[in-house]
Chains A and B, each alone.
Chain A
Amino acid sequence: MKKKILLVEDERALCLLYEEELSREGYAVTAVTDAEAALAELERTAFDLIITDIRMPGRNGIELITEIMGLRKDIPIIINSAYQSYKEDFMTWAADAYVVKSASLDELKAQIRQLLGD
């Protein structure tokens, strides 16, 4: 059975790219564009891993992670931000990995494989 990934990313073009790349790796990807939609999806589906951006309209990724910790602490989370600077925020420690966005998704894919034990 395919492992399920929830992708939270407000840029639709990036959602399409990630969906395509990660589907090719054999994952079932559900993409949403904000924290509210992510929380709604989490109620419906038992995801194996979450990838979230930080800067998003509405609640940001760090607020989303804090909320998720109140629901489930065991789900692996990867922060995927264009900014290094959020690493200074210790609330990011609630996530399991922090991958800075780049043109290549190799590092992100490696982190996913590591966290899912693939």
Chain B
Amino acid sequence: MSELRKDIISGRWVIIATERSKRPDDFRPRGGGAPAPEAVGFCPFCEGNEAKTPPEVFALRAAGTGPDTPGWTVRVVPNKFPALTRGTPPPKVAEGIFQWMEGTGVHEVVIENPDHAFELSDLPVPHVGDILRVFQQRIRTIESELHYQYVQLFKNKGKEAGASLSHPHSQIVATPIIPKRVKEEIYGADRLFRNFNECAFCRILEEEQKAGKRLVARNRHFAVVAPYASRFPFEMAVYPLRHSPFFTEVREDELATLAETLKHVLTRLKDTVGDPPYNMVLHQAPNPSLSLKGWPDIDKNYHWHLEIFPILTKVAGFEWGTGFYINPVPPEAVARFLERP
């Protein structure tokens, strides 16, 4: 018998296959090993090809090296052909029942390292920490422009996850409106805060740590959980143990632990399922200078976190039609598989 489980924050239901569930080997590429690296011809993100990107807006680079030259370790550039263009958004325009506005926003690419082949899980922990610090710096900078209400940080790894280039990179997109999915999570967290009189994410963390059966990793600052109502096999959520709605508020000592945590779980994922494509997305409160006005309790009821979705199954008609997801691997099994052997 399968189980229907509810994500209490979003209200979304998931079908979890508790019997005849799949095992990690079922998701490995045929032949057993990790997928062969793609042949690298030209790559605009590789060191030495800086002239092919727009001028960098930020970089960690060796002393004595100039902007847009080799010698960097993490480099941020605006999207060369962006879907949204930087600028103050004009007001929405109504056309009958329809609404539109000019496509203003920010789209930046964070090139995580100069080497085409080194993914987050391959990098030394201090380098992962540097990448996280750069994420914070860029989010703070973009949020200082008050018309960007939401800053979305995400990473697509692998073609199936939407990456058009295998050189490791993340993307930051800031929009002049708060996306619907973000609003749903905020409203859900707000509703539960009023029920529980505490942050629902903190409550989930407390219960998950007590139960332990969906806990993938835990250290002094972070816990990684296979969510109770996971939509996808090997889905994970990385939660800070210290309550905070904003990723930009992560302290230096916590950032170093987050780097360790990320490297650990991504390495375990790679070793267990064979280097799958995945999406990693940051969930955080909207631009702090605005969100506190719109949601006065957001500092109490929202809790930033990272979600990691390996792409091991396909989203098809049933999921699109109903919003239900069918997950063939129970999160309890994911936690067992991903624990250090």
Contact = CB atoms under 8 A, between A and B. Distances in A.
Contact of B165 (A67, A69, A90, A98): A90
A87 interface: yes
B44 interface: yes
B52 A93 contact: yes
A101 B83 CA distance: 16
A67 to B, nearest CB: 7
Interface in B20-57: 41-42, 44-45, 49, 51-53
Contact of B44 (A70, A87, A93, A98): A93
Interface residues of A, number: 15
Contacts of B45: 90
Given A66-B41, A87-B83, A94 B52 contact: yes
A89 interface: yes
Given A88-B164, A98-B81, A93 B41 contact: no
A70 B42 contact: yes
Nearest to B45: A90
B80 interface: yes
A92 interface: yes
B109 interface: yes
Interface in B202-254: none
Contact of A90 (B41, B83, B109): B109
A46 interface: no
A37 interface: no
21 contacts: A65-B42, A66-B41, A66-B42, A69-B41, A73-B49, A73-B51, A87-B82, A89-B165, A90-B164, A90-B169, A91-B42, A91-B44, A92-B80, A92-B81, A93-B44, A93-B52, A93-B53, A93-B80, A94-B52, A98-B80, A98-B81
Interface of B: 41-42, 44-45, 49, 51-53, 80-83, 109, 164-165, 169
Interface of A: 65-67, 69-70, 73, 87-94, 98
